[in-house]
Structure 1
Amino acid sequence: MADEDAMLAKIQAVWAQTGARDKARYAEERVPENVHWETEYRYENSADPQQTLNLYYPAKRRNATLPTVIDVHGGGWFYGDRNLNQNYCRYLASQGYAVMGMGYRLLPDVDVRGQIQDIFSSLRWLSHYGPQRGFDLDHVLLTGDSAGGHLASLVACIQQSEELRELFGVSRVNFNFTMVALVCPVAEPSKLPEAAGDMSEMASFYLDKLSGGDQALADHLNFSQVVKGLDLPPFMLIGGQNDSFYLQSQALLQVFDANKVTYTTKLWPASAGPHLKHVFNVQHWEWPESIETNLAMLRTFDDLSKQHDEADEDEFD
């Protein structure tokens, strides 16, 4: 027990340092302009501040409804809240989208089942309240970065599997994902020991807290463990060779190919610069490379939405 307490204290210290760096970054970062946002909607009947979400829109809307982007923040499953990616979400909204970013309860207070349940609760809130607030739920991009990419990948699979929904204790939401974009995802947690940095050194502790000691959950933590046989929407993998977790991206590409998942990529080579590190396009939305990356994600989403609309029209012809 003493060893576990010491490990937890070490991990919390690491994420406290990350929080301090993020705070300093926020103080210097330019805030995207011409965006309206609404904050702290509670998606559960709870006083827990993590079970809240933010909404973002262009300040001047041309249409009654806008294509939807849902963002799942990263933070190693131990860190972050609905505000962590707020400038990234603001930027996406400024490009003509209705954006929702939720918080979710963190390790070690819950395991991955609790986190998935929170995300699904936020999706149910959006299915109920989103349309009246301008969210077009016929065109939905689900995205997540780092650990949030892992959770987004699980959500996409759980949405398509009754067996997984039973395991995670959730029900299907009444809209579909047009596309799933994963930014530097850690979608194969069991491979954490192979990565660089503090998280890899603490991998066994992370894995134990994610599963909560439940072997059934431990057997369904990786994207590769839950993807088999599912009819999934197209994916987009975003990242680069200077990501400290690039091994995760390489592993995910193999899983995509092995399971015939439709996907595109935006992966930056090492020669593009050492500054293009883990989740650079989320943390530094204003960099030229970030803008190029994020616009590529949105244009791919737009193209898929158009294809879906054309397919629907053909059905009725």
Structure 2
Amino acid sequence: MFAKTQENIDRIRTFTPVDEDLAQIPADIARVAIETREQFGLGVDSYRCQLWCDPDGIDVFADIAYAQPTGDTIAHIKAHSLDIYLPHDALLRGGATLPVIVDIHGGGFVYGYKDLNRNFGTHVASYGVAVVSLGYRLAPTTDFMGQLQDIFTALQWLQAHAHEYPIDLRNLFITGDSAGATLALYTAAALNSTVVGEQLHCPIQDLPVRGTIFQSGLFELEPFTRGSSTTDTLPYIAQMGGTFFTSFAEQTTEELQSMQGLVQYAQLPPSVVITSSDDFLETQSLLFAAAMRQRGNYCEIYDVVPTKGKTLGHVFPVGQVWLEESQQVFEIMQRFVFDHSQYYL
């Protein structure tokens, strides 16, 4: 872990807020958020970010506002903006044929801008797809339902502006890593299942998801909605008052709050699940894939075992795009997207 110097704190501010969005938050709760963000940011991301870069041939449209910011700091602006990453060749050719992958970044619901995933998104785009990377408000400035509403608002913006880019929203896929996978799962369920969409107050119609790609996901929310301790997986959520999932629990049925129930209840699209043998959420991925297959839903799972003397860990394709294992994941994503896309004249 990097030392907590001003230089290192300034470095992590390029991909996560630290205290920028916390002026209206009670001091004791803000302190927990700051400590958590610093702990995350000064860990491996501080090392990895020095190697992050965009590949050649990718056009980046960054920091596009999809809603009015709730404040004037960079954190408020980033929270309601998105990036679009496109192969330059698609712009040269014209037309509107690229399948679209919407990416929802992770960070335990409390950490990270969309910029945390820019390195991942631009590399995925180099495999011949469009990537739309979404920002959203972080805990403790909002809760789980608020984050979902931000994502729905961003998707509404995308519906309204898709004609400005060489993309085809009829071939829409959603990916997310860690907590972003949780948000991606419920977003896909809301878009594909009317009953789920109603409970989650999703305003979007006629935007079905053709497939989902989950990386090191957190899929089981029942321990949180039933008031069980959050200290094992999300200790800072409990320390910030433990209310992050309260409105979600109050506004949804029990079936929607559990992994098994959601898989049975929702019309989930085909999925790819990525994890590794040294991922602390590996079991969640395995159980989710099993639930999908038991339901008869299409689900591929890739549980990568690193070679001796090496590690992969949590969300390795997002944080370490240069790894051979990560490049294999990008090839899997490319094949999955094109296999499950339909093409129109």
With the length of structure 2 as denominator, give the TM-score of the two structures: 0.79
Structure 1 unmatched ranges of 5 or more: none
| Corresponding residue for residue 176 of structure 1 | 208
Within a 5 Å distance, the mapping from 1:225-236 to structure 2 comes to 225-236=261-272
Distance 1:165 1:44 in 2: 21
Within a 5 Å distance, the mapping from 1:102-181 to structure 2 comes to 102-181=134-213
Alignment partner of 1:215 is 2:250: yes
> Which amino acid counterpart does residue 9 of structure 1 have in structure 2?
R
| Corresponding residue for residue 323 of structure 2 | 287
| Corresponding residue for residue 98 of structure 1 | 130
Q: Deviations over 1:79-107 (max 9, x none)?
A: 11221100111101112111100101111
Distance 1:233 1:9 in 2: 40
**Residue 189 of structure 2 contacts residue 197 of structure 2 at CA under 8 Å; is this kept in 1?**
no
Aligned-pair distance for 1:261? 1.9
Q: Deviations over 1:225-256 (max 9, x none)?
A: 33324332101111111101112112212321
| Corresponding residue for residue 187 of structure 1 | 219
> Which amino acid counterpart does residue 139 of structure 2 have in structure 1?
L
Alignment partner of 1:261 is 2:283: no
Alignment partner of 1:16 is 2:47: no
1:45 to 32, 44, 68: 68
Aligned-pair distance for 1:272? 6.7
Distance 1:210 1:98 in 2: 32
| Corresponding residue for residue 301 of structure 1 | 337
> Which amino acid counterpart does residue 250 of structure 2 have in structure 1?
Q
2:121 to 89, 97, 116: 89
Q: Deviations over 1:111-130 (max 9, x none)?
A: 11111111111111111101
CA pair 17-97 structure 1, distance change in 2 beyond 3 A? same
> Which amino acid counterpart does residue 48 of structure 2 have in structure 1?
R
| Corresponding residue for residue 48 of structure 2 | 25
Distance 2:55 2:307 in 1: 28
CA pair 272-189 structure 1, distance change in 2 beyond 3 A? farther
CA pair 296-138 structure 1, distance change in 2 beyond 3 A? same
* RMSD over equivalenced CA pairs, Å: 2.9
Does 229-238 or 117-126 show the bigger shift? 229-238
Distance 1:296 1:195 in 2: 36
Distance 2:51 2:160 in 1: 37
| Corresponding residue for residue 276 of structure 2 | 240
CA pair 83-222 structure 1, distance change in 2 beyond 3 A? farther
**Residue 172 of structure 2 contacts residue 211 of structure 2 at CA under 8 Å; is this kept in 1?**
yes
Kindly report structure 1 stretches of 4+ aligned residues shifted beyond 6 Å: 192-198
2:95 to 64, 67, 80: 64
> Which amino acid counterpart does residue 267 of structure 2 have in structure 1?
D
Distance 2:35 2:253 in 1: 26
Q: Deviations over 1:180-216 (max 9, x none)?
A: 0111100113458999996354565586313348533
> Which amino acid counterpart does residue 39 of structure 1 have in structure 2?
A
CA pair 11-170 structure 1, distance change in 2 beyond 3 A? same
Distance 2:185 2:308 in 1: 27
Distance 1:196 1:268 in 2: 27
| Corresponding residue for residue 36 of structure 1 | 59
What percentage of aligned pairs have identical amino acids? 25
CA pair 24-241 structure 1, distance change in 2 beyond 3 A? closer
CA pair 132-181 structure 1, distance change in 2 beyond 3 A? same
- Helix, strand or coil for the counterpart of 1:84? helix
Does 272-281 or 102-111 show the bigger shift? 272-281
**Residue 178 of structure 1 contacts residue 304 of structure 1 at CA under 8 Å; is this kept in 2?**
yes
Q: How many residues align?
A: 306
CA pair 217-232 structure 1, distance change in 2 beyond 3 A? closer
| Corresponding residue for residue 23 of structure 2 | none
> Which amino acid counterpart does residue 297 of structure 1 have in structure 2?
M
Alignment partner of 1:199 is 2:237: no
| Corresponding residue for residue 311 of structure 2 | 275
Does 278-287 or 29-38 show the bigger shift? 29-38
Does 244-253 or 118-127 show the bigger shift? 244-253
